[in-house]
Chains A and B, each alone.
Chain A
Amino acid sequence: MSNAKLIAESGKILDVAAKDAPLTVRGLTVSYGNKPAVFSVDASIPAGSMTAIIGPNGAGKSTFLKGALGVVPRLSGEVRIFGKLFSETRDRVAYVPQRASVDWDFPARVIDVVLMGLYGSVGLFRLWRSRHREQAMECLERVGMADFADRQIGQLSGGQQQRVFLARALAQNAEFYLLDEPFAGVDAATERAIVTVLKDLKSEGRTVVCVHHDLSTVAEYFDRVLLINVRRIAEGPVETTFTAENLQETYGGRLATTHIDELHLA
């Protein structure tokens, strides 16, 4: 089979599978330098689901998200978001990068960061107006940070910074939320607050994907898992896919059996 035909065929398959799916990825490869961080990963995230992306450090979980959204260039692979190119469906998607990826010493108040989420509704060459401020305050309300609106972002704790990032994503009023390690380095109260907001989003019919590290909370927070270690290891519902065998394969035997025993596995 010729190359062109192969691509055409896979495109057809993609179109069928991607009819309504928030995210369909086929053969995604992203490389930093000579070594692929993500190699030929397929994934399909169904609407209304809550998926954890799981894998060891350096397994390409964050890179998978960035590659899917074109934040880093793709070496190869096809990505459809709600069946279309991301450039056509951008306003239906909210992406929350890792908290540690930005400089929190930036001169901005909490409200300024949340206002960034309303970028799409402000208009070219225009500035944020008072109705945007009201919307931003509502989002801060939902994450319990309304009292901090005028606080300088550098004065927040890690958990508070993560809530501000979530409020910015809420301001985008998207259908599909992709969060990169939203629970990394946050306090227990913040973790509960974030989970509540994410479960509310799901109950409203929105789709949530999180890069997640804490294996002990996977079954409690999520209904699907995507196991990645450069390649895709497994993808599916927590009950059938979050198994000891799959985890051992993902972590390459680096996971202690005692640790696995403690997890609420299928």
Chain B
Amino acid sequence: MIDDLITAMGAEFVQLSLTPIVIGILAAIACALPGNFLLLRRQALIGDAISHVVLPGIVAAFLITGTISAVPMMLGAGAAAIVAVGMIEIIKRLGRVEPGAAMGLVFTTLFAAGVLFLEITDTSSVHIDVQHALLGNLESLIWFDAQGWGSLLDPVALSTLPPQLPRLAIVLVGIGLFILLFWKELKISTFDVSFAEAIGIRTKILSFALVVATAIAAVAAFDAVGSIIVIAMFVCPPASARLMTNQLGRQVGWSVVFATISAILGYVFAGYGPGWFGSPYAVSAAGMIASISGVILILTCLFGPQRKRTGQQAEA
């Protein structure tokens, strides 16, 4: 039994499973962190919207540069986001519709355009297609040159890590620092924006920075794990965490825990789960990670200590 475990956690694990799991965890946490604030600001779907909008931008960047390197994809995604904001404003003014409707229209249209773009252009030479856009390619992000756990200390082997891993690590550190350094400002302006404005917090700049952080997380994670995880991780871990506690700091902590659990269990179940039921095929890790985060949300809805908070208002 223990021998099995050692074998399971041995060189092959490091080579094939370690990097996808770590990338999954990094992507999940990078999305869950800003998701906490989006959720409390009733903007949870912004994460969803951004992950849709970036697709045509990424495809366009690929068509122009012919590569899927990070910088052009990020620029393309950013350009798409700006075009989307402009389109929303135009539709709001000319069509006189409410902002929600304008957003829904623009985001789905751009996503659909991105899918069409993918289909009619020749992207067969690279890992970019509709399947990839939705589910990413987590399973393929393996570490060829790893010989075992010792490779973690070997600079030569480390230099061959999938580039998504260091990229997501940097993004996660950046988002973590943003939230840590502006904790007071984010907390106060999320709870009471008028008060925040009156005490001198630049609430509009802060909101914009939060959306930018969300966009960066979405683009970085999208490349590695696809849009399904991105959408799920913006919403599910923070929503589950909210049901565990009534303090913002603890909520953010719980969301990190749930994001991590989703990534690990999702990857393991996707790889080994079907085998336990006698199926020789593995299922999509991204789909399974998103599903696990949904299961965690259901469990916290049923058993979370703060699940009954509505309707609990005391009368004086």
Contact = CB atoms under 8 A, between A and B. Distances in A.
B52 to A, nearest CB: 26
A101 B316 contact: no
Contacts, number: 98
A102 B184 contact: no
A95 interface: yes
A152 B184 contact: no
Nearest to A156: B314
Given A69-B198, A107-B247, A119-B199, A97 B192 contact: yes
Interface in A95-146: 95-97, 101-103, 105-109, 112-113, 116, 119-120, 122, 125, 127-128
B194 A119 contact: no
B184 A127 contact: yes
A99 B222 CA distance: 40
B181 A97 contact: no
Given A155-B313, A155-B314, A156-B314, A107 B195 contact: no
A190 B191 CA distance: 23
B200 A90 contact: yes
Contacts of A172: 199
Contacts of B316: 157-160, 187, 189-190
Interface string A63-83: 000100111000000000000
A234 interface: no
A155 B194 contact: no
Contacts of A128: 184
B194 A154 contact: no
B209 to A, nearest CB: 15
Nearest to B246: A152
Interface residues of A, number: 40
Given A107-B246, A157-B315, A158-B316, A122 B195 contact: no
B246 A108 contact: yes
A154 B313 CA distance: 7
Interface in B296-316: 306, 309-310, 312-316
Nearest to A93: B198
Contacts of B181: 125
A90 B199 contact: yes
B51 interface: no
A166 B183 CA distance: 23
Nearest to B183: A127
A108 B184 contact: no
Contacts of B197: 69-71
Contacts of B250: 107
Contacts of B192: 97, 101-102, 116
A57 interface: no
Contacts of B40: 103, 106-107
Interface string B166-208: 0000000000000001011001101110110111110000000
A64 to B, nearest CB: 14
A258 interface: no
Given A71-B198, A190-B316, A154 B309 contact: yes
B314 A157 contact: yes
Contacts of B198: 69-71, 90, 93, 95, 97
Interface string B247-278: 11011000000000000000000000000000
22 contacts: A71-B194, A90-B200, A95-B199, A97-B192, A102-B192, A107-B247, A107-B250, A107-B251, A108-B191, A108-B247, A109-B246, A112-B187, A112-B247, A116-B188, A128-B184, A154-B312, A154-B313, A155-B309, A157-B314, A159-B316, A160-B316, A189-B316
Interface of A: 66, 69-71, 87, 90, 93, 95-97, 101-103, 105-109, 112-113, 116, 119-120, 122, 125, 127-128, 152, 154-160, 168, 172, 187, 189-190
The 4 closest A-B CB pairs, nearest first, are: A157-B316, A95-B198, A152-B246, A97-B194
Given A112-B248, A116-B195, A189-B316, 15 more contacts: A69-B197, A70-B198, A87-B200, A102-B191, A106-B40, A106-B190, A107-B250, A112-B187, A116-B188, A119-B184, A119-B188, A152-B246, A152-B309, A154-B313, A157-B316
